[in-house]
Amino acid sequence: MSMNLDKVVLEKNHSDFLQNTKELKSLLGATSKSVTVKIDPDELTDLKNSGYALCFAKKVGDNDYNVIWKSMKKYLSNNKFTWTPVYEISGTNTFEDSVKVEATTNTQVIGLGERTVIDNVGLLSDPVTGGDENSINVKNEYDKIHVVISQTSVNEKGSMETTPIYVSKEQVILGESSYEPVEKVLVWFQANAETATMFSEMRSNAIEIKLTGKSSDTVEYKDGKWSRVKE
């Protein structure tokens, strides 16, 4: 009787897990955003031969874009970049131009409207509800530190990966701070560009795409210029 009961419980738990997984995928599908980048064939040849990568950056609050969220090197004439509202928070000791972000604290998965505490030894606590409901919130009890916000996107292989979208340029002092991801992305081409690399200056010949209130947009690169494609 006990073995049969255990089997029923296991089957129910497995069923609940599958259902929750389906619901999560459905939710992410409903809230995901995407940008399609079309590249003129002549431009594609020149860009590839010159070693340029297709780069994306994500807006956080009113701050400048400052991290290459995704450096896509295996791009083609028609490319779709998709992301989901799944975030992580960590800390790092430095902000340095042209250097890849390296977390020096533990990392926590965190949602909008949640709050984590960096304690006096530099550990980030499990997030709980609190703070601005549209932001990622943190209370710093440790010392001066740079906060890192990361977000999940889909790579060229179709797999989900979480990489940095923002690093606070100035060290965060003791107390409360909030970081609001904004549905704006910057797209450009850059040579020798690597995912998760910090930058200080605005990218040249880039296009900013606003996805507030819509799930997707399409842009085209032709004759060395960016333009939006009417859907």
The pLDDT value given to residue 28: 53
Which one-letter amino acid corresponds to residue 156? E
pLDDT in tens, 190-227: 999 999 999 998 888 999 999 999 999 999 999 999 99
- At residue 9 the predicted structure's pLDDT band, cuts being 50, 70 and 90, is very low
| pLDDT for 7 beyond 60 | no
Residue 26: the pLDDT is: 46
Annotated domain spans of the chain: 1-31, 32-228
Q: For the segment 14-47, what is each residue's pLDDT rounded down to a tens digit? A: 445 444 544 544 445 458 999 999 999 999 999 9
Q: What is the pLDDT at residue 231?
A: 67
Dihedral angle of Cα 96, 97, 102, 106, to the nearest 10 degrees: 60
**Can you give the pLDDT at residue 181?**
97
Band of residue 64 on the pLDDT scale cut at 50, 70, 90:
very high
pLDDT for the residue 8: 38
Query: Measured between alpha carbons, how far is 171 from 205 in angstroms, rounded to an integer?
Result: 30
pTM, full prediction: 0.86
- Tens of pLDDT, residue by residue over 156-174, are 888 999 999 999 999 999 9
Average pLDDT, the chain: 90
- Indicate whether 142 pLDDT > 50: yes
CA terminus-to-terminus distance, the chain: 61
Closest C-alpha to 153, from 85, 209, 90, 103: 85
Q: What is the pLDDT of residue 30?
A: 53
pLDDT, residue 16, reads: 52
